[in-house]
């Protein structure tokens, strides 16, 4: 089963997403994108396949977004992508790629929409929110 997560182990959303993937019994390919940033082509494909805009893919909180002037509305997608490649912390996370699609999994339970296998057990996020019940069903 081919599943890839662009992961930041310091991010709770990313950790929860990884745990939901593992809760299906699959060990995904984990790319710590801060250590191994994607290429321009890969980043562009992730954003396009996820059906989001480049601006949607930029993380603002805890990044040099404002300091770099990336909030300027005149900047092109190419300029924003260049900034993301120079400063990978600007890449929002986690992106997950499965045979069923690509998503920016914020919140983490968005990964459930693209996982090819069902959840095997109950799952509670780090903040205590129950996402999967004892029967392996999503809690709404």
- Annotated catalytic residues are 11
DSSP conformation letters of 21-75: HHTTT---EEEETTTSPPPHHHHHHHHHHHT--TGGGB--TTSSTTTTTTT-TT-
Q: Do 127 and 116 form a contact (C-beta atoms < 8 A)?
A: no
Listed residue (75, 35, 21) closest to 53, CA to CA:
75
């Amino acid at each position: 089963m081919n599943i890839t997560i662009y992961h930041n182990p310091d991010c709770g959303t990313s950790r929860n997403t990884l745990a939901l993937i593992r809760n299906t019994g699959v060990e995904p390919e984990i790319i710590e994108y801060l250590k191994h940033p994607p290429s321009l082509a890969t980043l562009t494909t992730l954003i396009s396949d996820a059906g989001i805009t480049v601006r949607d893919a930029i993380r603002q909180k805890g990044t040099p977004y404002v300091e770099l002037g990336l909030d300027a509305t005149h900047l092109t997608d190419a300029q924003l992508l260049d900034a993301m490649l120079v400063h990978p912390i600007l890449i929002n996370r986690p992106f997950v790629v499965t045979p069923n699609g690509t998503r920016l999994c914020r919140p983490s339970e968005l990964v459930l929409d693209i996982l090819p296998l069902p959840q095997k057990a109950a799952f509670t996020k780090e903040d205590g929110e129950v996402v999967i019940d004892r029967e392996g069903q999503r809690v709404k």
